[in-house]
Amino acid sequence: MEQLADIHYEKIEQNKDYEDLINKVVDECFKTEGLDKLKLYISITLTVPEVIKEANKKYRNIDKATDVLSFPMFEKEEIETLIKNNYDVEDVLGDLIISIPKVKEQAIEYGHSFERELAYMVVHGFYHLMGYDHMEENDKKEMRQKEDGVLNKLGITRD
């Protein structure tokens, strides 16, 4: 299987279990959305709240830590064109930054496993890279259906 996620660590230790889960989720995301035939990949940085807070302030002018940040490289329409025309472009779909301590905290808060929460952060970030958002209720509903669809295919539930 071709690596669709380029995983980096900043101020946390490497973890093969994280990488295995992330690769499994990203692979399913790409298959589900028809990106698996293209030469795209996602750059993912796993880090700590201080680093994600700094990036959030620098790029979004929001001075607080968050769980995941997404930096898409394409507009939604551009991605649709790439898929439709099966373009042979080798490029990054976008960058995700995920706070591992925040993932752990939210898993406890929501009463499910760390693995489920990390998988959700990856699929949530992926759909932001694909041009989806959750600011409007209809958009939120569409995005949640897509996220749940991927997680359900992988058997990753809230339990």
* Full domain range(s) for residue 149: 5-153
Residue 98 lies in a domain: yes
- Residues 30-62 pLDDT 10s: 999 999 888 899 999 999 999 999 999 999 999
Residue 124 lies in a domain: yes
How many CB atoms neighbour CB 150 within 10 A? 24
Residue 93 lies in a domain: yes
Q: Give the residue among 64, 93, 100 at the shortest CA–CA distance from 78.
A: 93
Residue 127 lies in a domain: yes
Residue 106 lies in a domain: yes
Q: In this predicted structure, what is the pLDDT of residue 90?
A: 83
Enter the tokens of residue 30: 């790409």
Q: How many domains does the chain have?
A: 1
- Residues 99-119 pLDDT 10s: 999 999 999 999 999 999 999
> Quick one: 22 exposed, middle or buried, by C-beta within 10 A (0-12, 13-18, 19+)?
buried
- Residues 57-101 pLDDT 10s: 999 999 999 999 999 999 999 999 988 888 777 899 999 999 999
Q: In this predicted structure, what is the pLDDT of residue 2?
A: 67
Contact predicate 115/156, CB 8 Å? yes
Residue 158 lies in a domain: no
Residue 159 lies in a domain: no
> Quick one: 159 exposed, middle or buried, by C-beta within 10 A (0-12, 13-18, 19+)?
exposed
- Going along the chain, which residue ranges are E strands? 5-9, 39-47, 68-72, 90-99
pLDDT at 159 over 70: no
Q: In this predicted structure, what is the pLDDT of residue 88?
A: 77
The structure's pTM equals 0.95
Q: What is the CATH number of the domain that holds 68?
A: 3.40.390.30
